[in-house]
Amino acid sequence: MGTIIGLSLAFLGGGIQGAFVFPLKYMRNWNWENGWFIFTLLCCFAFPLILAFSTISGLMDVYRSVDTVVVTLVFITGLAWGVGVVLFGLGAKMLGMSLGIAIITGLNAVFGTLFPILFLPSGTLSAKSGILLGASLIVLILGVVLVSVAGKRRETEQATTSISDSGEKKVSFKTGLIVCLVAAIFCPATNFAVFFGQPISNFVIENNLSAPQNVGYAQLLPYFMGGFIVNALYCIYLFRKNNSFKKFFVQGSNQNYARGLSMAILFMVGMVMYTFATTNYLKEIGPIVGWPLFMAATIIISNILGVVSKEWHEVSRKTYLQLYSGIGILILAIVLASISNIY
């Protein structure tokens, strides 16, 4: 029963996080970096600090008691994730929310699932589980290929519009695809942070320093601090390059601030739900089984929202069919990854 709860929470968390880029599409009179900086400031700095220090007793003592290598590894994974999430945001902007997130998170699931297997004790996974897990990862790749083909067809069919709604020149599919592929290399750092940071959560639980649902905040704080540094520096670079910092004060910015807040809430809630599921229910198998489930839910929800926001308007029925086929195959990957836990 606990495993079912954990998998359900991982799936729900992925769906919630899959919607976090959606508000960014509706920010008016701001550059990309303006909206992304508000998201970064809240999600990677303010929220993690407030949640960790308000829910964990003696938080700094926790970090002093745990092996320094553990805390350092979590912080480094945060730096790597920072690079990945910047490229994630750019990829979603270049290829659209549905396609960019599908490509990044699909490959993210593959890389993020395979790596922790190397650190599991021998015999943790049965032969049948390994076969099913391997099959689910192959199916995930096939799904990514299908949605990528659909994206290329969309670019061709929408070629009559060379300028985006925001007035910015459209980026080629090839450039956007490269950005998404590189993002997929760094984004699995989220899963590595959960994997390497388990001793932090275990220390909090063993010493009864927090309620079970809050232990993940101690584990994620160094990770988010690393991510904040990278994202903030990149946004500051764009402020200087584009002279866009002044746009924070243009008329109508209050709505954009609210949208940035909603981005941070959606991302943070999804991340916390996945960490809670892994820490309290899935344990060692969380990064292997829960991670692809989390990622696939992200893909499904982001594609639904992408279609709703008319990213796929004026495309052929065949292109839609390829897109939905890719989503269907990703759902199959979810099933395979989930049942691999039964054996």
Return the closest-CA partner of residue 79 out of 227, 194, 249, 289: 227
Burial 91-110, CB ≥16 within 10 A → b, else e: bbbbbbbbbbbbbbbbbbbb
**Mean pLDDT throughout 184-190?**
81
Sequence length of the chain is 343
Question: How far is the C-alpha of 297 from the C-alpha of 165, rounded, in Å?
Answer: 28
Find out whether 306 and 327 touch, Cβ atoms under 8 Å: no
Per-residue confidence at 142, pLDDT binned at 50, 70, 90?
Answer: confident
Kindly state the DSSP code that residue 22 receives in the 8-state scheme.
G
- Count the Cβ atoms, other than its own, within 10 Å of residue 46: 15
Token readout for 290 is 């829960």
What pLDDT does residue 298 have? 84
**Mean pLDDT throughout 221-250?**
95
Least confident of 114-118, 201-205, 309-313, 334-338: 114-118
Return the closest-CA partner of residue 55 out of 200, 214, 194: 214
The residue that leads in pLDDT, 343 or 41, is: 41
Span 263-314, pLDDT tens digits: 999 988 998 888 788 777 777 666 667 777 787 788 788 878 887 888 888 7
Least confident of 55-64, 122-131, 179-188, 308-317: 122-131
Least confident of 20-34, 37-51, 303-317: 303-317
- Mean pLDDT over each residue of the chain, to the nearest integer: 83
The residue that leads in pLDDT, 176 or 70, is: 70
**Mean pLDDT throughout 178-193?**
83
What pLDDT does residue 284 have? 67
Tell me which long-range contacts 245-251 makes (C-beta under 8 A, separation of at least 24). Answer: 245/34, 247/29, 247/30, 247/31, 247/34, 248/30, 248/34, 250/29, 250/30, 251/29
**E strand or H helix that includes residue 188:** none
Q: Within 13 A of 104's CA, how many CA atoms are on the CB side?
A: 34
SS3 326: helix
Q: Within 13 A of 339's CA, how many CA atoms are on the CB side?
A: 10
What pLDDT does residue 286 have? 66
Chain centre to alpha carbon of residue 78: 13
Per-residue confidence at 115, pLDDT binned at 50, 70, 90?
Answer: low
